[in-house]
Amino acid sequence: MRINFSGATGTLFWYGATVFLTSAFLLVLEIAAGRLLAPYVGVSLYTWTSIIGVILAGLSLGNWLGGHMADRGAGETSVGMILLGGAVMCFAILMTLMLVARTIQGSGLSLLSASFVYVFALFFLPAILLGVTTPLLTTLALKRDTRTGHVVGRMHALAAFGSIAGTFVTGYWLVQTIGTKNIILGTSLALACLALPYLRHLRRKAAVVAGGLIVSGGLAAVTHQVQGFVNPCDVESSYYCLRVVDELGPGGKVTARSLVLDHMTHSTNDKHQPDRLWMSYAHAMHELTLSHFEEPTGLRYFFAGGGAYTYPRALRFGDPTARVTVSELDPTVTDVAQKDLYLDSTGMRILHGDARVALQSLGRERFDVVVTDVYHDVAIPYHLATLEYHRLVKSSLSAHGLHLMNVIDAFPDPRLVKAIQKTLETQFRYVDVWLERPPQYPSRLTYVISASDHRRVPDILRSQTGEPRAWYAVTDVMRNTGTPMSDVPVLTDDYAPIESLITTLLADKAGL
């Protein structure tokens, strides 16, 4: 389409369209940043805080620079150069990603610091450049339309509307349709094309620069010669970056496969032994169930979280009479488990949606065991840790029912685990915290928590099935170590400071 810059109406329309598009592109980058960094630092409130804070800082500085440039007489050619610079910097995100990743991974930075450095190194300059256009184009528009309030209000509205459109299009469609890295590459190419009309007086030079950017970007993406263009995800869903990793046995044959969600291995499924529980926490949950019930067959299970479906798969194989219901938020996770992780879901009831909503929807149905396995690394759905959730779980359990949870936290002072324990104790008579073997040094561990009104199992739990293992009840030791129980809150829907409780993980390199 040929833009008529000679008429005031056409020019103002194009200025407004540019403000709309650049604002949309900035929010496209903001949403994509969370997904791009998930394989390296995971997803947490602090990751998104870094992303939003850095993008807003870049936008603010860009707005100031744009106003300063406008006062110094910058015109359309400057707008074109800014847009072309933005295209180059977007392209540079993918060009430098692996370099930044290698530097940060070897630096010993905490998760909190690493998240900030990633975002600052990759997205601060693009945010600055995209922030320049709105005040600069608003000033240029005022030279063609003397209605100051009308022009300023229109430009601000277009910028806000563009931001809204970029957010929804990226979150609802682009990520799961074309993938994060293609989004960033596409944004770079779109900015280069958007710059061309503003560089019409430098047409040959602009065409060469933009053409070179487009060709080099396309070749790099197609040939994967630049590591930053290689997508670490096998599949990008609305929730996760999913990757399946082969586990090799003797002779280099694939004997099992692991599911990696974002940057953490979720679980491993054995190809030939469906009842094998590789992960210690899953094995502990199974052994706690065996010790809790006098007749542990034909039980009714509700799983909040499916993931690789390792435990539900093992249950159905070992006890075909077990009645298993799984609530998995992400349908893509289930598809990957069925396609690549040897899951045969025959006999399982799978509900796709939020686990708390699913449990509520089942009404008066009762379960013997409720397993809450939804704490994905440091991204913790707080509403599945609160008093209200545990009250719902208790109301869904049979008289001798058992509630099992796994939580990742610091050792030896896991403040989140203590808060969950304290919350559970308001609903259940017996609450215990389990570890396979407490380490000698501060570390990041997966804790298993059991809660019941029926009875307490012995303090040392030895495996009856699978690999020889033993788990120890560290409930009292933990209660008397580090932060006093009186200093941790009972978690509620109104107050669940999850991130502040896991500050040790976020501020220490063990959290990465």
Q: Side chain identity at 276, as an amino acid letter?
A: R
Residues 262-266 have a mean pLDDT of: 81
Q: What is the pLDDT of residue 377?
A: 62
Nearest to 271 by CA among 259, 256, 283, 258: 256
Cβ atoms of residues 167 and 48 within 8 Å: no
Residues 244-262 have a mean pLDDT of: 89
As a CATH number, domain 241-511 is 3.40.50.150
Find which of 104-108, 200-204, 227-231 is predicted with most confidence, using mean pLDDT: 104-108
SS3 call for 30: helix
What does the block give as tokens for 154?
A: 């229109």
Residue pLDDT, tens place only, 161-193: 999 999 999 988 998 788 888 899 999 999 999
Structure-model confidence comparison of residues 68 and 224, the more confident one: 68
Nearest to 45 by CA among 501, 504, 368, 498: 498
Q: What is the pLDDT of residue 95?
A: 84
Query: How far lies 177's CA from each of 93, 109, 174, 353, in Å?
Result: 20, 33, 5, 20
What does the block give as tokens for 371?
A: 């397993």
Query: How far lies 111's CA from each of 34, 115, 338, in Å?
Result: 14, 6, 32
Residues 398-426 have a mean pLDDT of: 95
CATH 3.40.50.150 region(s) of the chain? 241-511
Mean model confidence pLDDT for the chain: 88
Structure-model confidence comparison of residues 456 and 263, the more confident one: 456
What residues are paired with 140 via a beta bridge?
Answer: none
Q: Which CATH number fits domain 8-233: 1.20.1250.20, 3.30.565.10, 2.40.10.480, 1.10.10.10?
A: 1.20.1250.20
Query: How far lies 264's CA from each of 107, 181, 313, in Å?
Result: 19, 20, 21
Query: How far lies 495's CA from each of 2, 211, 385, 427, 499, in Å?
Result: 56, 54, 11, 17, 12
Residue pLDDT, tens place only, 145-154: 888 999 999 9
CATH 1.20.1250.20 region(s) of the chain? 8-233
Cβ atoms of residues 123 and 51 within 8 Å: yes
Least confident segment among 217-226, 293-302, 459-468 = 217-226
pLDDT over 80 (residue 376): no
pTM of the model: 0.77
Residues 315-328 have a mean pLDDT of: 96
Q: How far from the centroid of its chain's Cα atoms is residue 116's Cα?
A: 15
Cβ atoms of residues 240 and 180 within 8 Å: no
Cβ atoms of residues 438 and 472 within 8 Å: yes
HEC letters along 181-243:
HHHHHHHHHHHHHHHHHHHHHHHHHHHHHHHHHHHHHHHHHHHCCCHHHCCCCCEECCCCEEE
SS3 call for 329: coil
